[in-house]
Homo-oligomer: A and B are copies of this chain.
Amino acid sequence: EIVAEVEDFFSDGPLAGRRILITSGPTHEPIDPVRYIANRSSGAQGTAIAEALRDMGAEVVFVTGPAEAPRPADVEVIEVESAREMREAVLGALPVEAGIFAAAVADWRVASASGSKIKKQGGKLPVLEFAENPDILAEVSQLAEGRPRLVVGFAAETDDVVANATAKRVRKGCDWIVANDVSPATGIMGGAENAVVLISDAGAETWPRASKREVGARLAGRIAEALGVSPRA
């Protein structure tokens, strides 16, 4: 009985039956078996968005790198480590109605990653060669077939937030960019709050600083609107 009621609850939400993909957390790019390059992303904002969409009845696929934040309950969770693994998981999860790319994906990986621990030898410093990682947001935004109706990217910037994020939206071909200022002074990275600017074809809309949970709920509401359902349906 309880199970049936829970299912009813979900199937009654405004996003019932809508399949939505969210990426979250950092990626880790190996240097050798004990070292890696990482991004400072706790996964807290991506998780909050996933929970808000779930609470509206969506069927959520949550592709996450090795994030600190506990995984959202009652969603499909796919754990990955590197950008290349994230790309595979994302493409494998399509088709979806909306794709929300909140993960902090490494732009570069170490091309010369070593299978053995790199040793310190006579003061010689290591030389790391980099290769460009796949651009998951651009690839999904520009899919000739099977592009989600709504593609949302994120931009973590330290300078010229709106200008950089506006350019990123055009360059990637996504519908919206959720931009924020991650300069250490803002306390946003790793913190409980977020202050974002939503960039769309209508321009830049500055949202008031709020908890990541509130920002997630607001974004989920906007996603529901964009998919043609009223958040209060």
Contact = CB atoms under 8 A, between A and B. Distances in A.
A40 interface: yes
Contacts of A125: 108, 129-132
Nearest to A32: B158
A232 interface: no
A34 B123 CA distance: 28
B34 A189 contact: yes
In the complex, the count of this chain's copies comes to 2
B35 A35 contact: no
A107 B120 contact: yes
A146 interface: no
A188 B112 CA distance: 24
Contacts of A104: 34
Assign chain A's interface to a size class. 35 or more
Interface string A111-151: 00000110110010110111110000000000000000000
Q: Which of A158, A184, A189 has the most CB of B within 10 A?
A: A158
Contact of A159 (B116, B157, B164): B116
A182 B34 contact: yes
Given A108-B125, A132-B123, A156-B117, A37 B35 contact: yes
Interface of A: 28, 31, 33-41, 68, 104, 106-108, 116-117, 119-120, 123, 125-126, 128-132, 156-159, 164, 182-184, 189
25 contacts: A28-B38, A31-B37, A33-B158, A33-B182, A34-B156, A34-B158, A34-B189, A35-B38, A35-B39, A36-B37, A36-B38, A36-B40, A37-B38, A108-B125, A108-B126, A116-B159, A117-B156, A117-B157, A117-B158, A117-B182, A119-B164, A123-B132, A125-B129, A125-B131, A128-B128
